[in-house]
A and B are shown apart, each in its own frame.
Chain A
């Protein structure tokens, strides 16, 4: 509530934040579908889901199956599930220690630009990382957030009828980066993945990062935090 007062003036659209803990990927998909419909019908306000997934590899609509390097046996050994999803983008990995954010936003007229939405998400994450002492930036033509050490956050989104967003970003906080060896991260060869922990050289609790990300998103999108 105090944050709301800081970051948004009166009349700013509310943004509810729901911290869900660890959620199975399939359950999160179903939840998002329901929320998109609820948001479109005006039954809920803009909502940000924050969660972690158990180990899972997800394929976006423009994924190359060859970018999944781990065979079924290896995935089974590592306990990694495989999902095809309706978001944009290439293959990615989610797992413990990674902060996943799914903003369910009804984009207002002035924000109805797919590229702007991607750039806004990147900007918010760069701000949040900056507040944690991690210098991050965009890379031309490569959606996501990068540091000198590699890619730190992946972004893949879906915009449903009525400019309702879903899917979102995955920020590596203390992710075990070896799991990225099971895919071709970012869909490009030679892509190095990093995490907040690796960048700072010390362990950072996930909830410490959450707060920064929530603030930055509210600021970037001009939303007032509630709940």
Chain B
């Protein structure tokens, strides 16, 4: 009785759907009538949605970043659980400051974008013409467009939305699972159809370069393929626990999918001997201690990589449309484990920093990353990344290349191994115990050739194994 619905409101005649950009209230929190409880975004507009009644927010039905059509229930408010004893004065709970760079890591975590924005609403010109039989408007233009692209008759799709309307989820589920009990309508699209295309904007800021690059392919689908991520859902079994992904996890998930879709990944491996580096560490220990500096193995790797990248512009670049951007700076991103979560602070202009400078910067960034105190600028703009799967003993990894860059270096566990060396004096082979580590270079094969990678790794090995004492 006291449980009332909060629908996605109709914010304009030609607006068929909205994206939940932020929940301003959480489940269990008291809300006043007309107090903003969530923010939605549509093309060029952000809007606050007020509570239709006072009470307690008891359920959130639509997660941040999800796009739903007008009329979809986004939350429930229990009016009988209204908060008492606050004198009836509406709480001044304005929207959180939309101001100023939000410094919490989630907002701009990693060199990646916020969740895909709501696509520009589809033109509603076709509204009256292309409905299904009997003029029964059981869908939005977005849904009809998806149906059309897949040759699906909307009338055969069961609607679970408001008043039996066919929602985007319905049509996508139908396309993925196929209809039950009838013959599957063959998709009429001959071009490769990316998995789960979601609403494809018919206009709006479409990536022109993609359209130009693939004139014969439906550019909307490519845009969707590269720009949007929808993670398939799976049935929940008894005893399972289901939790919404937090923002940093969702951004990471989306980014990983997109990054892997964009770049054809190839990985090459090389083994590095750390004897020379250990010698530098031993020789410099006193000096560094006196300066209060800590220089980790990672600092050595960053130092070496940043010097080399100037000679390998394609590895310090990225494919952009039909062009290649060769970056003017060498900004090295370092993956930091937040447990849970991952963030990649950036050492800017690493090629201009000394070994001690890099070591100090790494410590500073990692500490502030774990304290969630990085500025947005400090997690953007990397031109090359380094990740250290070896830190807990893993032999080596095959990391994903962050989108907008061309390569990532994975450093494996540094272990003592028995290796065969050649005695310099006698020229005979001998066994020795050496600290070694396997490094992997993941590279975008569109712009980095295998031989480039081989040359880069060989140079890296040489620099690290003959590490200068004065770096």
Contact = CB atoms under 8 A, between A and B. Distances in A.
Interface of A: 26, 29-30, 33, 36-37, 60-66, 68, 71-73, 82-90, 112-118, 140-143, 155-162, 186-190
B300 to A, nearest CB: 24
B99 A141 contact: no
B140 to A, nearest CB: 15
B225 to A, nearest CB: 16
A160 B36 CA distance: 8
Q: What secondary structure prevails in chain A residues at the interface with B?
A: mixed
Contact of A115 (B14, B35, B48, B404): B14
Contact of A88 (B44, B113, B204): B44
A60 to B, nearest CB: 8
Given A61-B114, A66-B404, A113-B13, A159 B205 contact: no
Contact of A83 (B95, B100, B118, B207): B100
B206 A143 contact: no
Given A88-B43, A116-B12, A142-B203, 16 more contacts: A30-B97, A30-B99, A33-B99, A62-B117, A71-B329, A71-B331, A83-B99, A86-B39, A86-B98, A89-B44, A140-B123, A141-B204, A157-B44, A159-B47, A161-B34, A162-B50
21 contacts: A26-B100, A29-B97, A29-B98, A37-B94, A61-B117, A62-B41, A64-B113, A65-B112, A82-B101, A83-B100, A84-B107, A86-B95, A90-B205, A113-B11, A114-B11, A143-B44, A159-B11, A160-B95, A162-B50, A188-B205, A189-B209
Contacts of A186: 205
Interface string B11-53: 1111100000100000000000011100101111111111000
Nearest to A72: B377
A109 to B, nearest CB: 13
B208 A159 contact: no
Contacts of A140: 123, 203
A168 B108 CA distance: 24
Contacts of B123: 140-141
B100 A141 contact: no
Given A37-B94, A71-B329, A156 B44 contact: yes
B41 A141 contact: no
B6 to A, nearest CB: 13
A205 to B, nearest CB: 29
B49 A161 contact: yes
A84 B102 contact: yes
Contact of A85 (B13, B98, B348, B349): B98
Contact of A117 (B14, B45, B94, B204): B45
Interface residues of B, number: 60
A52 to B, nearest CB: 19
B381 interface: yes
B120 interface: yes
A117 B98 CA distance: 21
B376 to A, nearest CB: 7
B352 to A, nearest CB: 10
B111 interface: yes
B286 to A, nearest CB: 34
Contacts of B204: 141-142
B118 A33 contact: no
B264 interface: no
A61 B41 contact: yes
Contacts of A160: 36, 47-48, 95
B321 interface: yes
A73 B12 contact: no
Contacts of A86: 39, 46, 95, 98-99
A73 B378 CA distance: 12
A200 to B, nearest CB: 27
A90 B206 CA distance: 13
A118 to B, nearest CB: 6
B380 interface: yes
Contacts of B328: 71
Most chain B CB inside 10 Å of its own CB: which residue of A84, A116, A156: A84
A115 B124 CA distance: 12
A113 B48 contact: no
Nearest to B47: A159
Contact of A84 (B49, B108, B117, B205): B108
Contact of B45 (A37, A112, A118, A190): A118
A82 B376 contact: yes
B193 to A, nearest CB: 23
B381 A71 contact: yes
Contacts of A82: 101, 376-377
A73 B42 contact: no
